Amino acid sequence: MRTQVGIIGAGPAGLLLSHLLHLRGIESVVLESRTREQIESTIRAGVLEQGTMDLLTEAGVGARMKAEGALHHGFELAFEGKRRRIDLTGLTGHSITVYAQHEVIKDLVAARVAADGALRFGVSETSLHGIDTDKPSIRYRHEGEACELQCDFVIGCDGSQGVSRASIPQALRKDYERVYPFGWFGILCEGPPSSDELIYARHDRGFALISTRSPNVQRMYFQCDPKDSVENWSDDRIWAELHARVDSHDGQKIVDGKIFQKNIVGMRSFVSATMQHGRLFLAGDAAHIVPPTGAKGMNLAVADVRVLTQALDAFYVDSRADLLERYTETALKRIWRAEHFSYWMTSMMHRVEGASPFEQQLQVAELEYVTTSRSAATAMAENYVGVAGAQAS
Protein backbone atom coordinates (compact mmCIF):
# COMPACT_ATOMS: atom_id res chain seq x y z
CA MET A 1 0.00 0.00 0.00
CA ARG A 2 1.28 3.46 -0.85
CA THR A 3 0.34 6.91 0.44
CA GLN A 4 1.94 10.31 0.81
CA VAL A 5 1.81 10.63 4.62
CA GLY A 6 1.67 7.67 7.00
CA ILE A 7 0.26 8.65 10.41
CA ILE A 8 0.67 6.45 13.49
CA GLY A 9 -1.97 7.11 16.13
CA ALA A 10 -5.66 8.07 15.93
CA GLY A 11 -5.69 10.57 18.75
CA PRO A 12 -6.55 14.24 18.21
CA ALA A 13 -3.17 14.95 16.59
CA GLY A 14 -3.22 12.10 14.08
CA LEU A 15 -6.86 12.45 13.11
CA LEU A 16 -6.77 16.23 12.78
CA LEU A 17 -3.58 16.11 10.72
CA SER A 18 -5.13 13.54 8.38
CA HIS A 19 -8.24 15.68 7.94
CA LEU A 20 -6.34 18.91 7.36
CA LEU A 21 -4.12 17.22 4.78
CA HIS A 22 -7.23 15.83 3.07
CA LEU A 23 -8.63 19.35 2.77
CA ARG A 24 -5.41 20.28 0.95
CA GLY A 25 -5.49 17.29 -1.38
CA ILE A 26 -2.72 15.38 0.38
CA GLU A 27 -3.27 11.65 0.93
CA SER A 28 -2.68 9.95 4.27
CA VAL A 29 -3.35 6.70 6.09
CA VAL A 30 -3.92 6.57 9.86
CA LEU A 31 -2.87 3.45 11.79
CA GLU A 32 -4.21 2.90 15.33
CA SER A 33 -3.59 -0.01 17.71
CA ARG A 34 -6.91 0.41 19.53
CA THR A 35 -10.41 -0.09 18.17
CA ARG A 36 -12.64 2.80 17.15
CA GLU A 37 -14.88 2.09 20.14
CA GLN A 38 -11.91 2.27 22.51
CA ILE A 39 -10.62 5.63 21.30
CA GLU A 40 -14.09 7.15 21.28
CA SER A 41 -14.95 5.97 24.80
CA THR A 42 -11.71 6.71 26.66
CA ILE A 43 -12.79 9.69 28.75
CA ARG A 44 -10.21 12.47 28.98
CA ALA A 45 -10.47 16.11 29.91
CA GLY A 46 -10.59 18.81 27.30
CA VAL A 47 -10.09 22.56 27.61
CA LEU A 48 -9.78 24.05 24.14
CA GLU A 49 -7.86 27.27 23.53
CA GLN A 50 -9.21 29.89 21.17
CA GLY A 51 -6.81 28.82 18.43
CA THR A 52 -7.87 25.19 18.76
CA MET A 53 -11.53 26.16 18.61
CA ASP A 54 -10.88 28.28 15.51
CA LEU A 55 -8.93 25.55 13.71
CA LEU A 56 -11.59 22.89 14.37
CA THR A 57 -14.23 25.28 13.05
CA GLU A 58 -12.19 26.12 9.94
CA ALA A 59 -11.72 22.40 9.31
CA GLY A 60 -15.46 21.85 9.37
CA VAL A 61 -15.48 19.74 12.55
CA GLY A 62 -16.53 22.35 15.09
CA ALA A 63 -20.34 22.23 14.88
CA ARG A 64 -20.92 19.84 17.79
CA MET A 65 -18.21 21.56 19.84
CA LYS A 66 -20.10 24.83 19.51
CA ALA A 67 -23.46 23.21 20.23
CA GLU A 68 -22.47 21.00 23.17
CA GLY A 69 -19.22 22.46 24.52
CA ALA A 70 -19.27 24.91 27.43
CA LEU A 71 -17.88 28.29 26.37
CA HIS A 72 -16.10 29.90 29.32
CA HIS A 73 -14.99 33.53 29.51
CA GLY A 74 -13.04 33.13 32.73
CA PHE A 75 -12.17 30.87 35.65
CA GLU A 76 -11.85 31.23 39.41
CA LEU A 77 -8.85 30.86 41.66
CA ALA A 78 -9.77 29.73 45.18
CA PHE A 79 -7.36 30.20 48.07
CA GLU A 80 -7.44 31.23 51.70
CA GLY A 81 -11.20 30.65 51.81
CA LYS A 82 -12.03 33.09 48.99
CA ARG A 83 -12.51 33.00 45.25
CA ARG A 84 -11.25 35.49 42.70
CA ARG A 85 -12.03 35.46 38.99
CA ILE A 86 -9.62 35.70 36.06
CA ASP A 87 -11.58 37.42 33.27
CA LEU A 88 -10.13 35.72 30.20
CA THR A 89 -12.26 37.53 27.64
CA GLY A 90 -11.98 40.89 29.33
CA LEU A 91 -8.21 40.63 29.54
CA THR A 92 -7.46 39.03 26.17
CA GLY A 93 -10.58 39.22 23.99
CA HIS A 94 -10.56 35.41 23.79
CA SER A 95 -12.24 32.50 25.57
CA ILE A 96 -11.97 28.74 26.05
CA THR A 97 -14.37 25.85 25.53
CA VAL A 98 -14.67 22.87 27.85
CA TYR A 99 -15.22 19.96 25.46
CA ALA A 100 -13.88 16.50 26.27
CA GLN A 101 -11.06 15.05 24.17
CA HIS A 102 -13.01 11.89 23.30
CA GLU A 103 -15.77 14.09 21.85
CA VAL A 104 -13.21 15.80 19.63
CA ILE A 105 -12.04 12.36 18.53
CA LYS A 106 -15.62 11.33 17.68
CA ASP A 107 -16.01 14.42 15.50
CA LEU A 108 -12.71 13.81 13.71
CA VAL A 109 -13.36 10.11 13.12
CA ALA A 110 -16.80 10.93 11.70
CA ALA A 111 -15.22 13.50 9.36
CA ARG A 112 -12.58 11.07 8.13
CA VAL A 113 -15.14 8.32 7.58
CA ALA A 114 -17.43 10.73 5.70
CA ALA A 115 -14.50 11.63 3.44
CA ASP A 116 -13.61 7.95 2.89
CA GLY A 117 -10.36 8.50 4.75
CA ALA A 118 -8.07 5.53 5.22
CA LEU A 119 -8.28 4.52 8.90
CA ARG A 120 -6.89 1.22 10.12
CA PHE A 121 -7.96 0.33 13.65
CA GLY A 122 -6.68 -2.61 15.69
CA VAL A 123 -3.23 -2.80 14.09
CA SER A 124 -0.36 -4.51 15.91
CA GLU A 125 3.38 -5.17 15.66
CA THR A 126 3.95 -1.71 14.17
CA SER A 127 7.53 -0.87 13.18
CA LEU A 128 9.22 1.88 11.17
CA HIS A 129 11.75 1.33 8.41
CA GLY A 130 13.91 3.57 6.23
CA ILE A 131 13.01 6.77 8.09
CA ASP A 132 16.46 8.18 7.32
CA THR A 133 15.84 7.69 3.58
CA ASP A 134 13.36 9.28 1.18
CA LYS A 135 11.34 6.05 1.07
CA PRO A 136 10.22 5.27 4.63
CA SER A 137 7.69 2.56 5.37
CA ILE A 138 5.54 1.29 8.22
CA ARG A 139 5.11 -2.44 8.76
CA TYR A 140 2.23 -3.76 10.85
CA ARG A 141 -0.35 -6.50 11.19
CA HIS A 142 -4.04 -5.85 10.51
CA GLU A 143 -6.82 -8.42 10.73
CA GLY A 144 -4.25 -11.20 10.90
CA GLU A 145 -2.29 -10.14 7.83
CA ALA A 146 1.21 -8.67 7.56
CA CYS A 147 1.07 -5.25 5.85
CA GLU A 148 3.49 -2.57 4.71
CA LEU A 149 2.64 1.07 4.11
CA GLN A 150 5.10 2.92 1.89
CA CYS A 151 5.01 6.71 2.19
CA ASP A 152 6.92 9.94 1.74
CA PHE A 153 6.73 10.89 5.42
CA VAL A 154 5.89 9.21 8.72
CA ILE A 155 4.18 11.26 11.43
CA GLY A 156 4.32 9.77 14.92
CA CYS A 157 1.19 10.71 16.89
CA ASP A 158 1.20 7.56 19.01
CA GLY A 159 1.84 9.00 22.45
CA SER A 160 4.61 8.59 24.96
CA GLN A 161 4.59 4.77 24.83
CA GLY A 162 4.37 4.43 21.05
CA VAL A 163 6.95 3.16 18.57
CA SER A 164 7.62 6.50 16.87
CA ARG A 165 9.84 8.28 19.37
CA ALA A 166 11.56 4.99 20.22
CA SER A 167 12.48 4.66 16.52
CA ILE A 168 14.79 7.67 16.79
CA PRO A 169 18.22 6.43 17.92
CA GLN A 170 18.76 7.17 21.61
CA ALA A 171 22.13 8.75 20.84
CA LEU A 172 20.40 11.37 18.67
CA ARG A 173 17.63 12.21 21.12
CA LYS A 174 17.63 14.96 23.68
CA ASP A 175 14.89 14.49 26.26
CA TYR A 176 13.91 16.57 29.28
CA GLU A 177 11.68 15.31 32.08
CA ARG A 178 10.32 16.24 35.49
CA VAL A 179 8.22 13.79 37.51
CA TYR A 180 6.02 15.39 40.16
CA PRO A 181 5.67 13.80 43.62
CA PHE A 182 1.87 14.00 43.53
CA GLY A 183 -1.02 12.90 41.36
CA TRP A 184 -4.65 13.77 40.73
CA PHE A 185 -7.58 11.78 42.04
CA GLY A 186 -10.33 12.29 39.46
CA ILE A 187 -14.05 11.62 39.70
CA LEU A 188 -17.01 11.83 37.36
CA CYS A 189 -20.32 12.42 39.07
CA GLU A 190 -23.96 12.99 38.24
CA GLY A 191 -25.40 16.34 39.24
CA PRO A 192 -25.60 20.02 38.31
CA PRO A 193 -22.48 22.18 37.91
CA SER A 194 -20.96 23.58 41.10
CA SER A 195 -19.92 26.72 39.23
CA ASP A 196 -20.48 28.40 35.89
CA GLU A 197 -16.72 28.31 35.33
CA LEU A 198 -13.69 26.22 36.28
CA ILE A 199 -12.40 26.55 39.84
CA TYR A 200 -8.70 26.03 40.59
CA ALA A 201 -8.21 25.73 44.34
CA ARG A 202 -5.03 25.97 46.39
CA HIS A 203 -5.40 24.68 49.97
CA ASP A 204 -3.04 23.55 52.71
CA ARG A 205 -4.50 20.06 52.24
CA GLY A 206 -3.65 20.16 48.54
CA PHE A 207 -4.91 21.28 45.13
CA ALA A 208 -8.42 20.74 43.75
CA LEU A 209 -10.11 21.44 40.40
CA ILE A 210 -13.83 21.73 39.75
CA SER A 211 -14.79 21.28 36.11
CA THR A 212 -17.81 20.19 34.09
CA ARG A 213 -18.61 17.74 31.31
CA SER A 214 -22.29 18.51 30.68
CA PRO A 215 -25.28 20.03 32.49
CA ASN A 216 -25.68 16.69 34.28
CA VAL A 217 -22.14 15.28 34.52
CA GLN A 218 -19.31 16.95 36.42
CA ARG A 219 -15.56 16.33 36.55
CA MET A 220 -13.57 17.03 39.72
CA TYR A 221 -10.02 16.39 40.86
CA PHE A 222 -7.99 16.69 44.02
CA GLN A 223 -4.27 16.28 44.67
CA CYS A 224 -3.27 12.91 46.09
CA ASP A 225 -0.39 10.49 46.49
CA PRO A 226 0.14 8.96 43.01
CA LYS A 227 0.67 5.58 44.72
CA ASP A 228 -2.67 5.76 46.53
CA SER A 229 -5.57 3.48 45.57
CA VAL A 230 -9.12 4.45 44.68
CA GLU A 231 -10.22 1.66 47.03
CA ASN A 232 -9.05 3.79 49.95
CA TRP A 233 -11.54 6.54 49.11
CA SER A 234 -15.21 6.14 49.88
CA ASP A 235 -17.66 8.58 48.30
CA ASP A 236 -18.18 10.31 51.66
CA ARG A 237 -14.44 10.74 52.15
CA ILE A 238 -14.05 12.17 48.64
CA TRP A 239 -16.78 14.76 49.14
CA ALA A 240 -15.43 15.74 52.56
CA GLU A 241 -12.01 16.34 51.01
CA LEU A 242 -13.36 18.39 48.10
CA HIS A 243 -15.54 20.51 50.37
CA ALA A 244 -12.58 21.17 52.70
CA ARG A 245 -10.40 22.35 49.81
CA VAL A 246 -12.86 24.32 47.69
CA ASP A 247 -15.76 25.71 49.77
CA SER A 248 -15.32 29.40 50.54
CA HIS A 249 -15.82 31.44 53.70
CA ASP A 250 -18.79 33.29 52.20
CA GLY A 251 -20.88 30.13 51.90
CA GLN A 252 -20.10 29.09 48.31
CA LYS A 253 -20.07 25.29 48.22
CA ILE A 254 -19.57 22.62 45.61
CA VAL A 255 -22.52 20.36 44.81
CA ASP A 256 -22.37 16.68 45.72
CA GLY A 257 -23.53 14.01 43.27
CA LYS A 258 -23.47 10.30 42.56
CA ILE A 259 -19.90 9.29 41.72
CA PHE A 260 -19.69 6.80 38.87
CA GLN A 261 -15.99 6.88 37.99
CA LYS A 262 -12.77 7.20 40.02
CA ASN A 263 -9.17 7.19 38.84
CA ILE A 264 -5.69 8.37 39.83
CA VAL A 265 -3.24 9.85 37.34
CA GLY A 266 0.42 10.66 37.84
CA MET A 267 1.88 13.97 36.72
CA ARG A 268 5.02 14.77 34.79
CA SER A 269 6.53 17.22 32.35
CA PHE A 270 8.43 15.87 29.35
CA VAL A 271 9.90 17.31 26.16
CA SER A 272 11.67 15.50 23.35
CA ALA A 273 13.77 18.26 21.82
CA THR A 274 14.37 15.92 18.89
CA MET A 275 10.98 16.04 17.15
CA GLN A 276 12.20 14.87 13.76
CA HIS A 277 14.68 12.44 12.28
CA GLY A 278 14.95 11.97 8.54
CA ARG A 279 11.41 11.53 7.23
CA LEU A 280 9.91 10.92 10.73
CA PHE A 281 8.20 13.76 12.60
CA LEU A 282 6.71 13.60 16.12
CA ALA A 283 3.54 15.39 17.21
CA GLY A 284 1.45 15.55 20.38
CA ASP A 285 2.21 13.30 23.35
CA ALA A 286 4.86 11.46 21.35
CA ALA A 287 6.96 14.62 21.68
CA HIS A 288 5.81 16.29 24.89
CA ILE A 289 3.77 15.85 28.07
CA VAL A 290 2.49 18.61 30.35
CA PRO A 291 0.81 18.36 33.75
CA PRO A 292 -2.92 19.03 33.28
CA THR A 293 -2.91 22.10 35.54
CA GLY A 294 -2.30 24.44 32.61
CA ALA A 295 -4.84 22.74 30.27
CA LYS A 296 -2.29 22.54 27.45
CA GLY A 297 -2.03 18.89 26.40
CA MET A 298 -4.47 18.66 23.50
CA ASN A 299 -3.85 22.27 22.51
CA LEU A 300 -0.12 21.62 22.06
CA ALA A 301 -0.95 18.61 19.88
CA VAL A 302 -3.18 20.80 17.72
CA ALA A 303 -0.44 23.43 17.49
CA ASP A 304 2.04 20.79 16.29
CA VAL A 305 -0.44 19.67 13.66
CA ARG A 306 -0.96 23.22 12.44
CA VAL A 307 2.78 23.62 11.89
CA LEU A 308 3.10 20.22 10.19
CA THR A 309 0.14 20.88 7.91
CA GLN A 310 1.66 24.12 6.69
CA ALA A 311 5.05 22.48 6.20
CA LEU A 312 3.70 19.47 4.30
CA ASP A 313 1.50 21.69 2.17
CA ALA A 314 4.53 23.81 1.26
CA PHE A 315 6.44 20.64 0.34
CA TYR A 316 3.79 19.21 -1.95
CA VAL A 317 2.44 22.43 -3.46
CA ASP A 318 5.57 24.58 -3.71
CA SER A 319 8.34 21.95 -3.50
CA ARG A 320 9.65 23.70 -0.38
CA ALA A 321 11.38 21.68 2.34
CA ASP A 322 12.46 24.58 4.54
CA LEU A 323 9.35 24.53 6.76
CA LEU A 324 9.77 20.82 7.39
CA GLU A 325 13.43 21.33 8.20
CA ARG A 326 12.48 23.99 10.77
CA TYR A 327 9.57 22.02 12.25
CA THR A 328 11.27 21.20 15.56
CA GLU A 329 12.63 24.72 15.99
CA THR A 330 9.22 26.26 15.26
CA ALA A 331 7.21 23.86 17.44
CA LEU A 332 9.55 24.01 20.44
CA LYS A 333 9.00 27.75 20.89
CA ARG A 334 5.38 27.18 21.78
CA ILE A 335 6.04 23.91 23.59
CA TRP A 336 8.51 25.42 26.06
CA ARG A 337 6.19 28.37 26.69
CA ALA A 338 3.36 25.95 27.49
CA GLU A 339 5.66 23.77 29.59
CA HIS A 340 6.69 26.76 31.66
CA PHE A 341 3.10 27.91 32.15
CA SER A 342 1.96 24.44 33.20
CA TYR A 343 4.92 24.11 35.58
CA TRP A 344 4.21 27.55 37.05
CA MET A 345 0.52 26.81 37.57
CA THR A 346 1.35 23.44 39.10
CA SER A 347 3.97 24.89 41.45
CA MET A 348 1.68 27.70 42.59
CA MET A 349 -1.42 25.57 43.23
CA HIS A 350 -0.15 22.29 44.70
CA ARG A 351 0.91 21.32 48.19
CA VAL A 352 4.53 20.20 48.13
CA GLU A 353 5.48 17.68 50.80
CA GLY A 354 8.06 19.16 53.12
CA ALA A 355 7.44 22.76 52.03
CA SER A 356 8.12 25.19 54.86
CA PRO A 357 5.50 27.69 56.10
CA PHE A 358 7.62 30.34 54.37
CA GLU A 359 7.32 28.56 51.02
CA GLN A 360 3.60 28.06 51.51
CA GLN A 361 3.13 31.78 52.08
CA LEU A 362 5.01 32.48 48.86
CA GLN A 363 2.29 30.55 47.02
CA VAL A 364 -0.39 32.67 48.66
CA ALA A 365 1.50 35.86 47.83
CA GLU A 366 1.74 34.79 44.18
CA LEU A 367 -2.00 34.13 44.04
CA GLU A 368 -2.74 37.49 45.66
CA TYR A 369 -0.60 39.21 43.05
CA VAL A 370 -2.07 37.33 40.09
CA THR A 371 -5.61 38.11 41.21
CA THR A 372 -5.11 41.80 42.08
CA SER A 373 -2.64 43.00 39.44
CA ARG A 374 -4.15 43.53 35.99
CA SER A 375 -0.81 43.00 34.28
CA ALA A 376 -0.17 39.73 36.15
CA ALA A 377 -3.73 38.54 35.49
CA THR A 378 -3.34 39.44 31.81
CA ALA A 379 -0.15 37.39 31.52
CA MET A 380 -1.93 34.43 33.10
CA ALA A 381 -4.97 34.85 30.84
CA GLU A 382 -2.85 35.16 27.68
CA ASN A 383 -1.10 31.90 28.47
CA TYR A 384 -4.32 30.13 29.39
CA VAL A 385 -6.22 31.01 26.20
CA GLY A 386 -3.12 30.44 24.09
CA VAL A 387 -2.37 33.98 22.98
CA ALA A 388 1.11 34.04 24.52
CA GLY A 389 3.54 32.35 22.15
CA ALA A 390 0.82 31.80 19.52
CA GLN A 391 2.95 33.28 16.75
CA ALA A 392 5.49 30.53 17.35
CA SER A 393 3.08 28.11 15.70
Render 54-66 in DSSP notation, one character per residue: HHHHHTT--HHHH
- CATH architecture observed for domain 5-71+94-176+269-352: 3-Layer(bba) Sandwich (3.50)
Closest C-alpha among 238, 206, 239 to residue 224: 206
b/e for 331-352, b at 16 or more Cβ within 10 A? Answer: bbebbbbbbbbbbebbebbbbb
Q: What angle do CA 359, 376, 334 make, to 5 degrees?
A: 95
Paired with 224 in beta bridges are 183
Mind listing the pLDDT tens digit of every residue in the chain (393 residues)?
A: 999 999 999 999 999 999 999 999 999 999 999 999 999 988 777 899 999 999 999 999 999 999 999 999 999 999 999 999 999 999 999 999 999 999 999 999 999 999 999 999 999 999 999 999 999 999 999 999 999 999 999 999 999 999 999 999 999 999 999 999 999 999 999 999 999 999 999 999 999 999 988 889 899 999 999 999 999 999 999 999 999 999 998 889 999 999 999 999 999 999 999 999 999 999 999 999 999 999 999 999 999 999 999 999 999 999 999 999 999 999 999 999 999 999 999 999 999 999 999 999 999 999 999 999 999 999 999 999 998 755 444
Which residues are known to be catalytic?
72, 200, 292, 296, 384
What are the respective helix, strand and coil percentages of the chain, to the nearest 5? 40, 30, 30
CB atoms within 10 A of CB 328: 19
Euclidean distance between CA atoms 337 and 120, whole angstroms:
34
